[in-house]
A and B are shown apart, each in its own frame.
Chain A
Amino acid sequence: MHLLKAEHVTHRFGGLCAVSDFNLRLEPGELVGLIGPNGAGKTTVFNLMTGVYEASQGSIEFEGEELVGQSPSEIHALGMARTFQNIRLFKKMTVLDNVRLARYAKLGYNPIEALFHIGRFRSEEKKILAHARELLELFDLAGHLGELAENLPYGLQRKLEIVRALASNPRILLLDEPAAGMNPAEIGHLMAFIQKIRKDFGLTIVLIEHQMRLVMGICERLVVLDFGATIAEGLPRDIQSHPKVLEAYLGEETPG
């Protein structure tokens, strides 16, 4: 069975058809690139997969479970986490709390235990603190634990967003333009970083990216979107010379 199967997914904003008949199948452990010109509908696909929007038509199945109609928190609980094109951290919360929040659903105490700080409250909070620390230590963010997220330098904010996504031990990670605003050296680091987390956390990754070096360098498969429709799908080197893709990008930067 496929880990994720999106079929005939269509989504309209009023009269605008942002995604039309989108199809995607993910095998466990894959690293798939989702590319396409500006406004092609890539981010909308992520929003549909994570429950921010409900698809007008079509179905998205996660290990056979239908995602369309489920809330973001329910989909998150199944093992889907993401980052955002424009960084969306909880700015006025500490680095530590940004990560702790992402494990909210894994904390096993109820409101009464929280109101009186009794029962499982102490042990569960201790566990989550240890976990968050370990994770931030692993990504060299431990020195910033107590800082407000908004005070981190840009690069670290990007990183923290990924760490926050990893905090809930997701199965599928969706990265929306992780290389935005990075210089070539940083992009090199990022490529190694993505490969590493995929291996260490056993992730399946879908990556939206305009940086062709990154996409061609690490993705095993590419899906090309234009005007909300899938226009090509295949190995990176085949996609590079695909006539429809060249046409879609005409007037924009040429892939490669």
Chain B
Amino acid sequence: MNMRWTIGVGLLAGFGLCWAIPHYEWLDPYVQLVLMYLGINIILTASLNLVNGYMGEFSVGHAGFMAVGAYVASILTVLVFPEEGSAYYFPLAIMGGGLGAAATGLIVSIPSFRARGDYLAIVTLAFNMIVKSVLENLEVVGGPRGFMGMEQLTTLPWVYVWVVITIWILRNLVYSKYGRGMAAIREDEIVCDLCGVHTRRVKISAFLVSAFFAGVAGGLYAHLLQFINPRMFDILKSTEVLIMLYLGGMASLGGSMIGATIYTVVMEVLRAQGGFRMVLMPLLLIFLMLFRPRGIFGLKEFSWLIPWRDLLLMRQLRTRKEVPRASAEG
């Protein structure tokens, strides 16, 4: 109970801080920008973790969903919603971007019924390329030149709110029967089906939710840069998300936050080094895979990210285990 209060107060304090930083200019605008990128990267990584980490699929086209979200949200704010009061329509535009991405997530989930592993990876790769080339050929959104005209509506408090929503929703899903279903699909899909789980439905939900938040991240990204073009959402962008994911660790929301933070910060610190940073990160990843294949925080979780009922249960089980029991054969 105490912990819930601490979390509530911490969340509010975090929001206060994110509001105060830009308002009182406590930090350099550049640092603020990096913080916003960090938030967007956390949303991307955590959402990909649902499919790749918790469910054990290998989806490599996350930037495709991000692109859909970015374009849909931008079209909404620039072409659809009225200009005055655009700040009020902003959350709706982000939701719209998320829903658009979720719709494409639904389409991508269908091949996942049959294909697994390498095959699904190729399907998602192709999806990423298709999204990019469709956007390049859509003149209404500027084709290869890109789309602009968005106001800078993405602010630090907004990024903070969306990060909190993302992590909270993903956590809720993971600690539910659907989360158990995803883990069981990862462990043994056929047995999962034999245990009465409608595996297709679970896969659809995972892809939908994962794509939704990638779309949210895309919308935020577009309204931070105020300019998007199809090349921003190519395979390289997807790879970046994969690096953050595997760096932080599979099946762990805390891991995604750690991975995104390390990656974002290191890349910024090395910005002056030019091409060198594009070598360092993959190298780091190779070392990590060799010496700690499950990532920094794989299969672990911060206790404040675990619903308190589950946390209580886990603590109870841990102490119970230490009590020696005479094990009788049934």
Interface residues of A (CB under 8 A from B): 50-52, 71-73, 76-77, 81-82, 84, 88, 90-94, 96-97, 100-107, 109, 111, 114-117, 121, 125, 128-129, 139-140, 142-147, 155, 159, 164, 168, 186, 189, 193, 196
Contacts and interface: CB of A to CB of B under 8 A. Distances in A.
B320 A97 contact: no
B330 A72 contact: no
B272 interface: no
Interface of B: 169, 172-173, 176-178, 180-181, 183-184, 186-188, 190-199, 205, 209, 299, 307, 309, 313-314, 317-318, 320-321, 323, 325, 327-330
Nearest to A113: B176
Nearest to A162: B330
Nearest to B186: A92
The SS class assigned to the B binding surface is helix
The residue among A100, A146, A168 with the most chain B CB atoms within 10 A of its own CB is A146
Given A97-B183, A116-B169, 14 more contacts: A51-B194, A73-B195, A93-B187, A96-B317, A97-B180, A100-B177, A104-B196, A114-B177, A125-B177, A125-B309, A143-B325, A146-B317, A164-B195, A196-B330
A87 to B, nearest CB: 10
B321 A147 contact: yes
A92 B325 contact: no
23 contacts: A52-B190, A52-B194, A72-B194, A73-B196, A73-B199, A77-B196, A81-B194, A91-B187, A92-B299, A97-B180, A101-B197, A102-B195, A105-B196, A105-B197, A111-B205, A114-B173, A114-B176, A114-B178, A115-B172, A116-B172, A121-B176, A125-B176, A129-B313
B75 to A, nearest CB: 26
Contact of B320 (A76, A111, A145, A168): A145
B88 to A, nearest CB: 24
Contacts of A106: 196
Contacts of B314: 146
Nearest to B181: A104
A81 B323 CA distance: 33
B330 to A, nearest CB: 5
A129 B267 CA distance: 45
B195 A168 contact: yes
A71 B197 CA distance: 10
A101 B188 contact: no
Contacts of A96: 317
Nearest to B190: A52
A140 B327 contact: yes
Given A52-B190, A84-B191, A145 B317 contact: yes
Contacts of A116: 169, 172
Contacts of A155: 329
A91 B330 CA distance: 22
A193 B329 CA distance: 9
Contacts of B173: 114-115
Contact of A189 (B178, B195, B205, B330): B330
A90 B320 contact: no
A189 B327 CA distance: 14
A114 B173 CA distance: 6
Given A101-B184, A101-B195, A143 B320 contact: yes
A88 B169 CA distance: 31
A214 B240 CA distance: 57
A216 to B, nearest CB: 22
